[in-house]
C-alpha cells in the first residue's frame, strides 16, 4: 500500500460509529436510527469526496508522471531510487520557463527536477509520485525566485503564502514535512567573466537575523581568488549578492518560516532545508523591489545592457545537503489511525456503559425506596410499586441468566449486587386481607313480624348463604341480627339476637358444621341502614347479615393466629 487509504478509513470510522449506536448507545431507538442514518450519509459523502479528489489527482498528475517515466526509462533502478526528486515551483513564464524550457522534467547530475506551474497542484503530484514510486515521495520542494521579477510587494507576499500553504498540504499528503530549498536569482549585466557560484546554506539554515551576517562572511572570500582584472567586477557582484541576501531575509524568508504579526497566517511554517543566492547574466530591472533596496543600501544603480534573456541554472549545490527521503508506506500510519479510532470507540463504549450502569442502579434503588415509603394502607399504590420491583427483578435475573448485554458490560455492571435485596423486599410483601364476604337477608322473607321462628320455605332464601359457607370451610361465620326502631330498644335487641340464633342453627344443621363454628351478634336498632321515619326505611333496617371471617384460633396452617378483625372479637351466644 503506497497511498493513504482514506476511503477505507472512512468506512472503518462509520462501522465503529454504527456499532457503538447499535450496542452501546444509551439513547432511544428512534435517536439511534436517526444518528445511524446520518453516519451512513456522512460516510458516503466522505467516500465520494475522497474518490473525486483521487481522480482529480490522477488527472492533474498524469502528464507529469508520463514525462517522469519517459525521462527515467533509460536510467538504472539504483540511480532512480537514489537520485533526489525535487518538485520545483516559481513563476511559470519567468524562472521556470528559463530553467525547464518546454519540458516538465529535467535531469541533472544532482537531482531530478519536476516542474509545477500551479502551486495548488503540488500536493496532487507529490501524492501521485509517492504512489508511483512505491512509497518514496519527493525528496524536496525547490522555490525559485527571480529578484528582478518581483515588482509588487503584495503580489510577492501572496505568492509566497500560496507556496507555503501548498507545501503544507503536500506534506500532509505524503505523511512527512517536505524540506524546502529557496533559491534566489539576480540578473547582472556587468559581472565578471566566470559563472557565479551559489552562496548559501544546505542542510541547516540559520535564523533570519543571523543569515545575513553568516552569508556575508562567505561572500567576502569570493573576490580574493580573482585576477586583478575581474576583482572590481567581483566586488560589484558581491555587493549585489549581499543586498540580495538582505532583501531575501526581509521579503522572502519571514513569509515562509515565520508568521507576520500584521498578517493572517496561512498554514504552518515550512522546513527550510536550503537557501542560496546567485547572479546570472541578464538585464537588471530598475523598478524591482530588489533594485530599490540595492539603490538604498549600496548606491549602485542597475546598468541595463542589451536585451539578452536571463538563463537560470538549477540550484544543484543547494540540493546536495538534503538527504534522500526513505520510502514511507502508508499502511503503518493508516493502521495507527485505525487503532486510534478503535481506542476512541472503546472509550466511548466504556463511558456509555458506566453511564447506563449508574442509571440502572439509580433507577432500581429509587424504585425500592419508593416502595418502602408507601404505607400499608395505600394498597393500590403499594401494589403498583411492587409490580415495578418485579419488573426490575425480572430484568436483573435475565441479565444474570443470559449474560450482561454489551451496553452494560465492559466491567462496569453493578446490577448483580441489587438482586438479593430486591428479592428479599418482594418476598416480604404480604397482601392485605380480603374484605369479609357478607350476605344480607331481609327479615320479612325469613320471619313474621315480632317472631324469631323461620317461616316455612325460608330455606330458599338461605341457600345462597349456605353455598358461601360451604365454599369457605376454613372461615368462621358471623350472623348479625338488626331491627327497626319500632318498640322498645331492649325488646328489639333480644329479637335481633333470637333471629340471628335461628339462622345460625339452620345453617349449622344444613352445612353439617358444629355450632361453635358460628358466632352471633345482636344489634337491635343501633345500626340502621336507612331512616326509620318511613316504611321503606324501616323495612331496610329489618335484616340479618351473614359474614365470613378468618378464624383467629386456627388458620388450618399451624401458623400463629391472624391479627385483625375476626370471629373471636365477637361474643359467641348460643
- Contact by Cβ (8 Å): 146, 93: no
- For residue 25, being part of any structural domain is answered with no
Mean pLDDT confidence for 450-454: 88
User: In terms of DSSP bridges, do strands 271-281 and 199-202 run parallel, antiparallel, or are they unpaired?
Assistant: antiparallel
At residue 11, the pLDDT reads 96
The half-sphere exposure of 380 on its side-chain side, counting CA atoms within 13 A, is: 0
Q: Angle at the Cα of 171 (from 166 to 176), degrees rounded to 5?
A: 165
Share of the chain above pLDDT 70, in %: 90
Examine the pLDDT at 421 and tell me if it is beyond 90: yes
Task: Give Cα 274 to chain centroid, integer Å.
Answer: 44
- Beta-sheet strands, E only, within 190-282: 199-202, 271-281
Share of the chain above pLDDT 90, in %: 45
Q: Which of 193-207, 247-261, 290-304 has the highest mean pLDDT?
A: 193-207
CB-based contacts of 387, cutoff 8 Å, min separation 6: none
Examine the pLDDT at 265 and tell me if it is beyond 60: no
Examine the pLDDT at 7 and tell me if it is beyond 50: yes
- For residue 119, being part of any structural domain is answered with yes
Tens-place pLDDT, residues 10-50: 999 999 999 999 999 999 999 999 999 999 999 999 999 99
3-class secondary-structure state, position 440: strand
Give the model's confidence band at 566: pLDDT under 50 very low, under 70 low, under 90 confident, else very high: very low
Residues 396 and 473 in one domain: no
Residues 370 and 389: their CA atoms lie apart, in Å, by: 10
Q: What own/partner pairs with CB < 8 Å and gap ≥ 24 does 98-107 have?
A: 98/309, 98/310, 98/311, 98/312, 99/144, 99/312, 99/313, 99/314, 103/67, 104/63, 104/64, 104/67, 104/68, 105/64, 105/67, 105/68, 105/70, 105/71, 106/314, 107/71, 107/72, 107/75, 107/83
Examine the pLDDT at 4 and tell me if it is beyond 90: no
Tens-place pLDDT, residues 533-547: 898 888 898 999 999
Residues 324 and 339 in one domain: no
| Domain harbouring 471, CATH code | 3.30.1330.60
Residues 242 and 317 in one domain: yes
At residue 307, the pLDDT reads 54
Examine the pLDDT at 390 and tell me if it is beyond 90: yes
Examine the pLDDT at 182 and tell me if it is beyond 80: yes
Q: Angle at the Cα of 42 (from 38 to 48), degrees rounded to 5?
A: 145
Given 427, 448, 468, the domain boundary residue is 427
Tens-place pLDDT, residues 454-480: 888 888 888 888 888 888 888 899 999
Q: Which residues of 75-94 are buried (b: 16+ CB within 10 A; e: fewer)?
A: eeeeebeebbbbbbbbbeeb
User: In terms of DSSP bridges, do strands 140-146 and 179-188 run parallel, antiparallel, or are they unpaired?
Assistant: parallel
* Continuous segment of H or E residues that includes residue 441: strand 437-442
Residues 217 and 224: their CA atoms lie apart, in Å, by: 12
* Averaged confidence pLDDT in the chain: 85
At residue 555, the pLDDT reads 44
- For residue 115, being part of any structural domain is answered with yes
- For residue 226, being part of any structural domain is answered with yes
- Contact by Cβ (8 Å): 191, 279: yes
Of 534, 414, 448, nearest in space to 486 by CA: 534
Residues 286 and 205 in one domain: yes
Give the model's confidence band at 562: pLDDT under 50 very low, under 70 low, under 90 confident, else very high: very low
Q: What is the strand order of the sheet 518-524 is part of?
A: 437-442, 543-550, 475-482, 518-524
Lowest mean pLDDT among 122-131, 207-216, 330-339, 500-509: 207-216
Give the model's confidence band at 570: pLDDT under 50 very low, under 70 low, under 90 confident, else very high: very low
Examine the pLDDT at 552 and tell me if it is beyond 70: no
- Contact by Cβ (8 Å): 507, 466: yes
- For residue 423, being part of any structural domain is answered with yes
At residue 190, the pLDDT reads 78
**If DSSP states are collapsed to H, E and C, what string results for 237-254?**
HHHHHHHHHHHHHHHCHH
Mean pLDDT confidence for 420-432: 90
Residues 190 and 311 in one domain: yes
At residue 557, the pLDDT reads 40
Examine the pLDDT at 318 and tell me if it is beyond 70: yes
Q: Which of 199-213, 214-228, 288-302, 504-518 has the highest mean pLDDT?
A: 504-518
Mean pLDDT confidence for 491-502: 92
Residues 444 and 339 in one domain: no
Examine the pLDDT at 379 and tell me if it is beyond 60: yes
The pTM of this model reads 0.61
Residues 413 and 537 in one domain: no
Residues 509 and 502: their CA atoms lie apart, in Å, by: 11
Of 108, 207, 188, 105, nearest in space to 146 by CA: 188
Residues 299 and 383 in one domain: no
Residues 351 and 323 in one domain: no
Cell of 481: 341480627
3-class secondary-structure state, position 546: strand
At residue 132, the pLDDT reads 81
At residue 255, the pLDDT reads 87
At residue 129, the pLDDT reads 86
Given 372, 404, 427, the domain boundary residue is 427
- For residue 510, being part of any structural domain is answered with yes
Tens-place pLDDT, residues 85-133: 999 999 988 899 999 988 999 999 899 999 999 999 999 899 888 888 7
Between 342 and 565, residue with greater pLDDT: 342
**If DSSP states are collapsed to H, E and C, what string results for 85-135?**
EEEEECCCCCHHHHHHCCCCEEECCCCEEEECCCHHHHHHHHHHHHHHCCC
DSSP 446: T
Tens-place pLDDT, residues 224-237: 766 666 778 888 88
Mean pLDDT confidence for 407-428: 90
- For residue 19, being part of any structural domain is answered with no
Place of cell 436510527: 33
- Contact by Cβ (8 Å): 241, 277: yes
Residues 242 and 318 in one domain: yes
- For residue 499, being part of any structural domain is answered with yes
At residue 315, the pLDDT reads 95
At residue 301, the pLDDT reads 61
Given 399, 427, 455, the domain boundary residue is 427
- Contact by Cβ (8 Å): 465, 441: yes
Residues 312 and 183 in one domain: yes
At residue 21, the pLDDT reads 95
Its domain, for residue 457, covers 437-569
Cell of 53: 479528489
Q: Angle at the Cα of 179 (from 175 to 183), degrees rounded to 5?
A: 150
User: Based on the structure, what is the number of domains in the chain?
Assistant: 3
Cell of 137: 515521495
Residues 86 and 203 in one domain: yes
Reported residue count of the chain is 574
Tens-place pLDDT, residues 137-177: 899 999 999 998 898 999 999 999 999 999 999 998 888 89
Amino acid at each position: 500500500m503506497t497511498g493513504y487509504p482514506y476511503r477505507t478509513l472512512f468506512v472503518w470510522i462509520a462501522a465503529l460509529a454504527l456499532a457503538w449506536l447499535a450496542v452501546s448507545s444509551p439513547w432511544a431507538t428512534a435517536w439511534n436510527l436517526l444518528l445511524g442514518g446520518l453516519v451512513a450519509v456522512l460516510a458516503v459523502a466522505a467516500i465520494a469526496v475522497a474518490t473525486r479528489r483521487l481522480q482529480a489527482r490522477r488527472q492533474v498528475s498524469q502528464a507529469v508522471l508520463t514525462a517522469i517515466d519517459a525521462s527515467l526509462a533509460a536510467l538504472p533502478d539504483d540511480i532512480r531510487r537514489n537520485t533526489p526528486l525535487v518538485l520545483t515551483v516559481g513563476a511559470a513564464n519567468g524562472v521556470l520557463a528559463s530553467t525547464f524550457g518546454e519540458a516538465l522534467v529535467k535531469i541533472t547530475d544532482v537531482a531530478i527536477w519536476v516542474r509545477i506551474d500551479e502551486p495548488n497542484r503540488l500536493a496532487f503530484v507529490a501524492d501521485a509520485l509517492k504512489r508511483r514510486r512505491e512509497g518514496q515521495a519527493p525528496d524536496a520542494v525547490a522555490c525559485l525566485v527571480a529578484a528582478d521579477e518581483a515588482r509588487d510587494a503584495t503580489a510577492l507576499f501572496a505568492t509566497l503564502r500560496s507556496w507555503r500553504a501548498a507545501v503544507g498540504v503536500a506534506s500532509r499528503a505524503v505523511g512527512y514535512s517536505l524540506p524546502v530549498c529557496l533559491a534566489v536569482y539576480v540578473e547582472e549585466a556587468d559581472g565578471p567573466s566566470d559563472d557565479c557560484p551559489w552562496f548559501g546554506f544546505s542542510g541547516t539554515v540559520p535564523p533570519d537575523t543571523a543569515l545575513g551576517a553568516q552569508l556575508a562572511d562567505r561572500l567576502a572570500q569570493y573576490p580574493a581568488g580573482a585576477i586583478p582584472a575581474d576583482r572590481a567586477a567581483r566586488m560589484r557582484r558581491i555587493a549585489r549578492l549581499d543586498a540580495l541576501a538582505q532583501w531575501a531575509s526581509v521579503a522572502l524568508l519571514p513569509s515562509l518560516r515565520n508568521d507576520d504579526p500584521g498578517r493572517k497566517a496561512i498554514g504552518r511554517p515550512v522546513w527550510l532545508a536550503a537557501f542560496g543566492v546567485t547572479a546570472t547574466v541578464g538585464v537588471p530591472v530598475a523598478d524591482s523591489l530588489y533594485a530599490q533596496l540595492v539603490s538604498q543600501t549600496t548606491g549602485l544603480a542597475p546598468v541595463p545592457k542589451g536585451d539578452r534573456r536571463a538563463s537560470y541554472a538549477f540550484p544543484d549545490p543547494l540540493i546536495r545537503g538534503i538527504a534522500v527521503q526513505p520510502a514511507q508506506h502508508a499502511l503503518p500510519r493508516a493502521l495507527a489511525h485505525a487503532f486510534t479510532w478503535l481506542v476512541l470507540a472503546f472509550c466511548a463504549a466504556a463511558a456509555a456503559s458506566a453511564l447506563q450502569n449508574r442509571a440502572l442502579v439509580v433507577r432500581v434503588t429509587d424504585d425500592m425506596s419508593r416502595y418502602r415509603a408507601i404505607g400499608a394502607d395505600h394498597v393500590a399504590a403499594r401494589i403498583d410499586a411492587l409490580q415495578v420491583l418485579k419488573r426490575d427483578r425480572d430484568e436483573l435475573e435475565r441479565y444474570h441468566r443470559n449474560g450482561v448485554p454489551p451496553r452494560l458490560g465492559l466491567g462496569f455492571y453493578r446490577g448483580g449486587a441489587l438482586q438479593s435485596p430486591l428479592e428479599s423486599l418482594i418476598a416480604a410483601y404480604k397482601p392485605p386481607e380480603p374484605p369479609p364476604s357478607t350476605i344480607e337477608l331481609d327479615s320479612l322473607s325469613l320471619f313474621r313480624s315480632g317472631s324469631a321462628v323461620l317461616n316455612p320455605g325460608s330455606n330458599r332464601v338461605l341457600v345462597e348463604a349456605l353455598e358461601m359457607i360451604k365454599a369457605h370451610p376454613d372461615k368462621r361465620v358471623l350472623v348479625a341480627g338488626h331491627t327497626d326502631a319500632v318498640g322498645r330498644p331492649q325488646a328489639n335487641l333480644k329479637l335481633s339476637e333470637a333471629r340471628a340464633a335461628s339462622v345460625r342453627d339452620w345453617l349449622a344443621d344444613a352445612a353439617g358444621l358444629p355450632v361453635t363454628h358460628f358466632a352471633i351478634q345482636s344489634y337491635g336498632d343501633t345500626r340502621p341502614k336507612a331512616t326509620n321515619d318511613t316504611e321503606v326505611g324501616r323495612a331496610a333496617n329489618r335484616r340479618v347479615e351473614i359474614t365470613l371471617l378468618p378464624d383467629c384460633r386456627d388458620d388450618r396452617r399451624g401458623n400463629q393466629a391472624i391479627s385483625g378483625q375476626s370471629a373471636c372479637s365477637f361474643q359467641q351466644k348460643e
